[in-house]
A and B are shown apart, each in its own frame.
Chain A
């Protein structure tokens, strides 16, 4: 006994405040950023040469049609730059010893043969290399060299040598790359090495593979040039892809006129009895993009069920069908044949009971999602279980935990899922890992201390100009000497220097040194893009005691030497112009202050359902206080009404356990019968008023100060009287039925026939979205009935069966057990006729068979959807946040910030976001908790910088800014004039433009800072 205690004690003491994230796709990156921002050291281990994962290969993302690179790239840069994230590319995990809180991990680093520190990403080696190979990034549609970057926008932007194909490494001859490399970064002596690291937790984010479709020969992939995969088509559509965004066929480069998508290739079959969850939306997205590019292309999608179960998916699908006239054909092709002369394709399928063949000139296969190729090896090396499909095994109610303690999983490695769900899970794993290691928060992170900033107010500008050669990239085109001589003479310039590479560590230190020695108070660097390098140079200013905003960049590489390489003289002149413009602006720049604001370390959570309670527990485990308020008189929410799940477990029990834990947790205060009536303040410092009902008609007001807010107000069951609901006790909702079955008020032995109707109050005009859970719910209850009485005849009337992911297996099982599925649509809805002989009579048409049926049943079960909580209508005004058309809350970004509100410090989870299964709500709640913790774990918040300010003397309170701000930040304060909280402002400057009296200005972009730059182009004579 004593020994055990001692062991527990040592375990407690020896936790490590570091986390290893394996896989640097979007979910792994999200997990890393959340954890690194809340005080943990991160090792981000990636097998490939650069980070970003599969998302970097996508062109656009559904349902917003955002460009994938645009929304991902900022996160990649943040990751690479993050002080607490060590990105380890070309690395694999070999072994994991130890236990939760203290693991010892052995990593194998494979050689890159290019020095990460020396390489500047100039790309000359890639030009010089003589070996041409198929480009994996473009899925074989273009070529790369033996020294290459995975993508043109790779992070880190450093190439890797493909050793088995390198002439020097295989035959000892060539060295073209090392001869041309201007910094000597090529290192043929690089060898693999083993690295040992101590971490407290591991997060598996190893992603997925495209289905291996070489097995599906009948679809012609690999045999016919014009049969391609959906991912290949993403590259074809991409404007930086192999054809620069021109849609064309592979056989002859011609623009296709008729395109067919084939769904479910490699999923929903005998071997892969699961749905890949994303392909319906991906194909719909690609179809829309085709139509937007070239409206006259005819697009058809062959499918089984259109699975549009996510937020705003249904509208997207409707738009594709109705606005863009994409043809959806409910039929799976039996064969694809090619015309060997034209390379056109004949797709044969059964349509309306007869065999039909259509000719297309391009066929796109919507290939499914398979477990990562490394799944087996990783599961052995790290010692956790896979499920029967080869994905990582997880439990329904703890979807991001593996079978080994302290090891978490996110993204499609545990089940096929889209980007939004993957990001959500990434956050969720961060929440759990953070909770496990909260005692070690902040122990391994680095904090940089800068010297005190000098006051430059009132000083004459003393500008230093640094001109970068970027090896040959700039100097090869632009006459640096001439530019330097010119820049020296510009007004206010007191120092000018050219540098081979301004971004190397040496140069950065040199810049700091020169600033100090020459008392520079403004700095201009003429080099590459501020998008990638501004933060780096700003740090040099800070190191020299100069405010980081006294800095300006002239982009003479990406926007000059690289695009005018054929006109070197003009490029030199343009470089001078750009520098002169930057110098003019620099002279007008001001120091901007970043305020430090203390943070109230308490969270307020609205709604004590599964999501609210899970979020509360996750935050509490991280060591922060939570106030959890519930409108009803007891916690539990909608999930309490679910009696059993597919595995026979009781969700009710799970909810009871949560309620128990909440009751025992000293960090959590639960207030029932309570509602939020008012909130003021800003992130880190909110003040809220809660109205609590003590007894009927008697209320009290409670004031709470808190740093963050989570909205988990849930949703409700649809309550309409469609299909005769309420007429008699033979017509029930699925939830009522479950309850009666468990309470033995219904005896399945006495039932002969049961009919279920899907989409009751979902996918209708009133509620135009899929409720996501009802298909699973109906199939679950149908299987339960069959289990008790196998003789019951069950008929399910449906539009599309939305059993995405692993739910598919139950749909298969239901059909195998003889449950009948009849399909209807909005024009042919089922009807409930007057009762006949004590039975409910249902009239329906089956669209597949084109036949009308009259079914007399003992029980009619209505799969009623989930509707937004009516309280949203009030609450969204109090919170000043937005609702989507369907009445659910709108998140900051549907893909990359799925649980954040646009308003800083507000988060969102559970049915308040959209309908979802319990496990998904759990992951979302853990995610919201993690996002909230990122704020709560800070010592202070920094606010200010590039934000808008209102000149209170000028403001006439016209409300233009209040109305126009996309984030609802400006408000009219007690003095009757507009005010913008620095902590809430995003710095877009839209308000500046609408202010009629010019009372608002955006710091760092004041007119007197922008106009001089514009004027300067014409002031050549100043020199």
Chain B
């Protein structure tokens, strides 16, 4: 069974607080989601996101403040724009833009955060692993084949 690795970038205020509250309310969600705290969703750049996919994560979501209540005024709007650009890039390189999402939430929305974590995990499970991983595996296989042809023995440890 494919277990996706999903990263959730949470802004220091609402996103992270909502994730904390999900815990305080003991709402269960799959352990596939790991949370990374950032000062503001607006801090994230396409480079961060692409790097995450390059590393092999299967999905990413950003949890930012609600519309109009970003602690840093416009950070969530910036992040939203960034996400729409990176989604297109991901589509172009066939990783798939649907692996990246942004959700706006208030710090009191613990249940909502958990719901997102659940839905995101389900969605990514259906999509399957990040294609980059498959490419890497194929590379390795081909490498092995070539080495074999060259007569090098590979021990599978």
Q: Which residues of B contact A988 (CB under 8 A)?
A: 39-40, 42-43, 71-72, 75
Give the residues from 8 to 56 in chain B that come closer than 8 angstroms, CB to CB, to chain A.
12-14, 16-17, 19-31, 34-40, 42-45, 47-48, 51-52, 55-56
Q: Is the CB of B45 within 8 A of A993?
A: yes
Q: Which residues of B contact A1007 (CB under 8 A)?
A: 47-48
User: Does B127 reach chain A (CB closer than 8 Å)?
Assistant: no
User: Does A566 reach chain B (CB closer than 8 Å)?
Assistant: yes
Q: Give min CB distance, A295 to chain B, whole Å.
A: 16
Q: Is the CB of B73 within 8 A of A70?
A: no
The one of B28, B42, B111 in contact with A245, judged by C-beta atoms closer than 8 angstroms, is: B111
User: Does A1005 reach chain B (CB closer than 8 Å)?
Assistant: yes
User: Are A990 and B111 also in contact (CB < 8 A) when A529-B20, A1010-B48 are?
Assistant: no
User: Does A536 reach chain B (CB closer than 8 Å)?
Assistant: no
User: Does A997 reach chain B (CB closer than 8 Å)?
Assistant: no
Q: How far is the CA of A964 from the CA of B42 in the complex (A)?
A: 10
Q: Which residues of B contact A298 (CB under 8 A)?
A: none
Q: Is the CB of A570 within 8 A of B31?
A: yes
Q: How far is the CA of A578 from the CA of B68 in the complex (A)?
A: 32
Q: Which residues of A contact B34 (CB under 8 A)?
A: 574, 577-578, 581, 1017
Q: Is the CB of B69 within 8 A of A153?
A: no
Q: Is the CB of B26 within 8 A of A67?
A: no
Give the residues from 970 to 1023 in chain A that come closer than 8 angstroms, CB to CB, to chain B.
986-990, 992-994, 1002, 1005, 1007, 1010-1011, 1013-1015, 1017-1018
Q: Is the CB of A67 within 8 A of B55?
A: no
The one of B47, B69, B71, B108 in contact with A64, judged by C-beta atoms closer than 8 angstroms, is: B69
Q: Which residues of A contact B5 (CB under 8 A)?
A: 1017-1018
**Residue with the highest number of chain B CB atoms closer than 10 Å, among A240, A562, A902, A987:** A240
CB nearest to B107 among chain A residues: A70
Q: Is the CB of A564 within 8 A of B24?
A: no
Q: Is the CB of B55 within 8 A of A565?
A: no
Q: How far is the CA of A563 from the CA of B111 in the complex (A)?
A: 11
The one of A71, A530, A993, A1018 in contact with B56, judged by C-beta atoms closer than 8 angstroms, is: A1018
The one of A67, A152, A992 in contact with B106, judged by C-beta atoms closer than 8 angstroms, is: A67
Q: Give min CB distance, A415 to chain B, whole Å.
A: 28
Q: Which residues of B contact A529 (CB under 8 A)?
A: 16, 20, 23
User: Does A393 reach chain B (CB closer than 8 Å)?
Assistant: no
User: Does B7 reach chain A (CB closer than 8 Å)?
Assistant: yes
Give the residues from 104 to 120 in chain B that come closer than 8 angstroms, CB to CB, to chain A.
106-112, 114
User: Are A65 and B69 also in contact (CB < 8 A) when A531-B16, A563-B27 are?
Assistant: yes
Q: How far is the CA of A471 from the CA of B36 in the complex (A)?
A: 25
User: Does A509 reach chain B (CB closer than 8 Å)?
Assistant: no
User: Are A67 and B78 also in contact (CB < 8 A) when A152-B25, A240-B108, A564-B28 are?
Assistant: no
Q: Which residues of B contact A530 (CB under 8 A)?
A: 37
Q: Is the CB of B23 within 8 A of A558?
A: yes
Q: Give min CB distance, A672 to chain B, whole Å.
A: 37
Q: How far is the CA of A642 from the CA of B114 in the complex (A)?
A: 58
What interface size band does chain A fall in? 35 or more
CB nearest to B10 among chain A residues: A559
User: Does A560 reach chain B (CB closer than 8 Å)?
Assistant: yes
Q: Which residues of B contact A560 (CB under 8 A)?
A: 31
Binary CB contact string for chain A from 539 to 560 against chain B (1 if under 8 A, 0 otherwise) = 0000000000000000101111
Q: Give min CB distance, A150 to chain B, whole Å.
A: 14
Q: Give min CB distance, B51 to chain A, whole Å.
A: 6
Q: Is the CB of B111 within 8 A of A964?
A: no
Q: Is the CB of B45 within 8 A of A966?
A: no
Q: Give min CB distance, B6 to chain A, whole Å.
A: 10
Q: Is the CB of B17 within 8 A of A73?
A: yes
User: Does B65 reach chain A (CB closer than 8 Å)?
Assistant: yes
User: Does A567 reach chain B (CB closer than 8 Å)?
Assistant: yes
**Residue with the highest number of chain A CB atoms closer than 10 Å, among B5, B36, B43, B114:** B43
The one of B22, B75, B114 in contact with A966, judged by C-beta atoms closer than 8 angstroms, is: B75
The one of B20, B31, B72, B114 in contact with A574, judged by C-beta atoms closer than 8 angstroms, is: B31
User: Does A96 reach chain B (CB closer than 8 Å)?
Assistant: no
Q: Is the CB of A239 within 8 A of B110?
A: yes
User: Does B66 reach chain A (CB closer than 8 Å)?
Assistant: yes
Q: How far is the CA of A559 from the CA of B73 in the complex (A)?
A: 27
Q: How far is the CA of A902 from the CA of B72 in the complex (A)?
A: 10
CB nearest to B45 among chain A residues: A993
Q: Is the CB of A153 within 8 A of B24?
A: yes
User: Does A138 reach chain B (CB closer than 8 Å)?
Assistant: no
Q: How far is the CA of A70 from the CA of B107 in the complex (A)?
A: 5
Q: Is the CB of B55 within 8 A of A1005?
A: no
Q: Give min CB distance, A476 to chain B, whole Å.
A: 12
User: Are A563 and B69 also in contact (CB < 8 A) when A70-B107, A529-B20 are?
Assistant: no
The one of A65, A244, A562 in contact with B26, judged by C-beta atoms closer than 8 angstroms, is: A562
Q: Is the CB of B111 within 8 A of A1005?
A: no
Q: How far is the CA of A557 from the CA of B20 in the complex (A)?
A: 9
Q: Which residues of A contact B12 (CB under 8 A)?
A: 531
**Residue with the highest number of chain B CB atoms closer than 10 Å, among A967, A990, A992, A1014:** A990
Q: How far is the CA of A1014 from the CA of B54 in the complex (A)?
A: 11
The one of A153, A571, A990 in contact with B72, judged by C-beta atoms closer than 8 angstroms, is: A990
Give the residues from 50 to 64 in chain B that come closer than 8 angstroms, CB to CB, to chain A.
51-52, 55-57
Q: Is the CB of A1014 within 8 A of B7?
A: yes
User: Does A238 reach chain B (CB closer than 8 Å)?
Assistant: yes
User: Does A69 reach chain B (CB closer than 8 Å)?
Assistant: yes
Binary CB contact string for chain B from 82 to 113 against chain A (1 if under 8 A, 0 otherwise) = 10000000000000000000000011111110
Q: Give min CB distance, A704 to chain B, whole Å.
A: 30
Q: Which residues of B contact A1018 (CB under 8 A)?
A: 5, 55-56
Q: Give min CB distance, B15 to chain A, whole Å.
A: 11
Q: Give min CB distance, B73 to chain A, whole Å.
A: 4
Q: How far is the CA of A993 from the CA of B23 in the complex (A)?
A: 31
A-B contact pairs, 28 of them (CB 8 A): A65-B68, A67-B107, A67-B109, A239-B108, A239-B112, A557-B23, A558-B19, A558-B23, A560-B31, A562-B26, A563-B27, A563-B29, A565-B26, A574-B31, A964-B74, A966-B72, A966-B74, A967-B73, A988-B42, A988-B43, A988-B71, A990-B43, A990-B74, A990-B78, A993-B43, A1014-B55, A1017-B5, A1018-B5
Instruction: With A989-B38, A1010-B48, A1017-B55 given, name 19 new contacts (CB 8 A).
Output: A66-B68, A70-B65, A152-B24, A240-B21, A240-B109, A245-B109, A531-B17, A555-B20, A558-B20, A563-B27, A574-B34, A578-B34, A946-B39, A988-B71, A990-B78, A993-B43, A993-B82, A1002-B39, A1014-B7
User: Sorted from nearest, which 10 A-B pairs have the closest CB atoms?
Assistant: A558-B23, A67-B106, A989-B43, A988-B72, A966-B73, A562-B23, A990-B42, A70-B107, A988-B40, A993-B45
**A binding-site residues for B, Cβ under 8 Å:** 59-60, 64-71, 73, 152-153, 238-240, 244-245, 529-531, 555, 557-560, 562-567, 570-571, 573-574, 577-578, 581, 902, 946, 964, 966-967, 986-990, 992-994, 1002, 1005, 1007, 1010-1011, 1013-1015, 1017-1018
